[in-house]
Amino acid sequence: MIALSLRLLRAGGRNAWSAAGLVATGVAVATALLAFALGALHGLDAREQRVGWRTPAAAPPGTAPVAQLLVRTDHVTDRAIQQIDVVDPRPDAAGPPGLPRMPLPGELWVSPALAELLRTVPADALAARYPVDVPTGVIGDAGLLGPDELVAVVGRPAGDPVLTAPERSEVVASARSEVVAVAGFDRPGEGLGLAEIYRQLTYVALALLVFPVASLLGASARLSAARRTERLATLRLFGASRRQVTVAAVTEVTVVAAAAAVLGIATEWLLAPAIAQISLAGSTWFVADVRPAPVTALAAFACVALLAAGSAVGGLRRVVITPLGVVRRDRPQGARLVRLLGLAAGVAVFVIMSQSIQIAPSDIVGLVFGIGVLALFGAISLIGPLVVRLLGGVLTRRARSAPALLAGRRLLDDPRGPSGRWPG
């Protein structure tokens, strides 16, 4: 049956292809946006992995520190340089990410972008700030936010006078003291930085994207519904079982959605070099950062395909296609108690989540808010048909023209159609 469904889909002709193309475009755009959001999360995670050590957590009591860190922001030609002074380093300890070893007193390690500036900016405007004229080495990508970040790691001996009187720069990383003793560089940083705020916003954006994607998939089931119903009725007439008809409808919708999902993810992948040029927190991105991990992309693809299949099954569950081509409703479209319960539950979850934001840990604030938004949209989608039906009734009763009467009747006949597009 799947093979026959694919054959019918392939041979659908110009109109069918146009409809499928429109749907695929919509789903591809939605999936691309989803992939952008997932890519942003991936990028923020990757950045945190690489530079989390620059917002250092103090070594736990009883732990021997490997160095003391002073993190500050310097400026040159209107650009920010993050300078990390590594004070009194333990030479045998592992160095920070991006460095082959622990920076020793008197050494200067710089990012490639800063190395380039050191070559082009007059020495008295930049190089004179550092203990040596020529950098000891270049920091690798593993220790940078992005390719154009300006970073300097300066090794200093214990008691270096510069530490007590920093000039031209502001201390950014330590709230407790200017110099933080650290037990290593593989520990996550602490504090709610700008990147963390972006991450939380990304969670909300992801939640906001779920309904447009679902809405587009619902539209895909409706767009070619008339022709599909006719075709499925013919199949029923010649002996296709309900299961076979369901398989045919699910195959048709899911194949288009799955192809569009692949296209959407591929679009994000291809646009990643351009997206990576967007500067955030003082640096552009490595291209690999803004592409979602393969497992995440696969999960996004699977979610879109499953949503499409669910949308097709849901559409067929509500109607029975008879052999004579009559689409009749399986159940009356009344206000069912379960809808009202769902509405109450959705609103309750939204209220609880809204209140929880005040007490939720900072790293899941966005997630909590996103769940609340999802619940609210879910409630809207549940109550939507009831409201549309109500409006349809009013319009039908008060209609003074044929178009108004038709519109009212159509709303009464299919309240799910228009209401399904609200959340999207």
Partner 1 sequence: MLAEAGLTVHRGETVAVTGSSGSGKSTLLHCLAGILMPDEGQVLLDGERIDDLSEERRTALRRNRFGFVFQFGQLLPELAAVENVALPLLLAGVSRREAVARAAQWFDPLGLAGLEQRRPGQLSGGQEQRVAIARALVARPAVVFADEPTGALDSVTGGQTVALLTGLARRTGAGLVVTHDAEVAAACDRTIAIRDGRTAAAGLTGAAP
Q: Name the residues that contact partner 1, by CB under 8 A.
A: 1, 3-4, 7-8, 11-13, 16, 231, 234-242, 244, 322-324
CB of 236 to partner 1, least distance (A): 7
Cβ nearer to partner 1, comparing 8 with 360: 8
CB of 319 to partner 1, least distance (A): 15
Give the residue among 283, 209, 366 at the shortest CA–CA distance from 43.
283
Kindly state the tokens that stand for 32: 């691309």
CB of 28 to partner 1, least distance (A): 24
Distance CA 262, CA 343 (A): 34
Cβ nearer to partner 1, comparing 42 with 231: 231
Distance CA 375, CA 342 (A): 10
CB of 46 to partner 1, least distance (A): 47
CB of 9 to partner 1, least distance (A): 8
Instruction: Return the C-alpha torsion angle 241, 244, 249, 253, nearest 10.
Output: 170
C-alpha distance from residue 79 to each of 22, 27, 76 (Å): 45, 40, 5
Cβ nearer to partner 1, comparing 15 with 49: 15
C-alpha distance from residue 20 to each of 60, 117, 202, 224, 268 (Å): 60, 52, 30, 8, 21
CB of 27 to partner 1, least distance (A): 22
CB of 21 to partner 1, least distance (A): 16
Distance CA 10, CA 256 (A): 11
Kindly state the tokens that stand for 41: 């999360």
Cβ nearer to partner 1, comparing 105 with 325: 325
> Containing H/E element for 24?
helix 13-51
Cβ nearer to partner 1, comparing 7 with 398: 7
Cβ nearer to partner 1, comparing 47 with 236: 236
What is the Cα 191 distance to its own chain's centre?
22
Cβ nearer to partner 1, comparing 9 with 151: 9
Write down the residue that tokens 């920091």 correspond to.
139
Cβ nearer to partner 1, comparing 72 with 236: 236
DSSP 3-state percent helix, strand, coil across the chain (nearest 5): 60, 10, 30
The rounded radius of gyration (Å) of the Cα atoms in the chain is: 30
Kindly state the tokens that stand for 231: 């075709």
The residues, any chain, with a CB within 8 Å of residue 235's CB and separated by 6 or more, are: 244, 245, 248
Buried b / exposed e over 314-325, threshold 16 CB at 10 Å, is ebbeeeebeeee
Distance CA 117, CA 78 (A): 12
CB of 221 to partner 1, least distance (A): 18
CB of 391 to partner 1, least distance (A): 36
CB of 8 to partner 1, least distance (A): 5
C-alpha distance from residue 222 to each of 89, 246, 355 (Å): 66, 15, 38
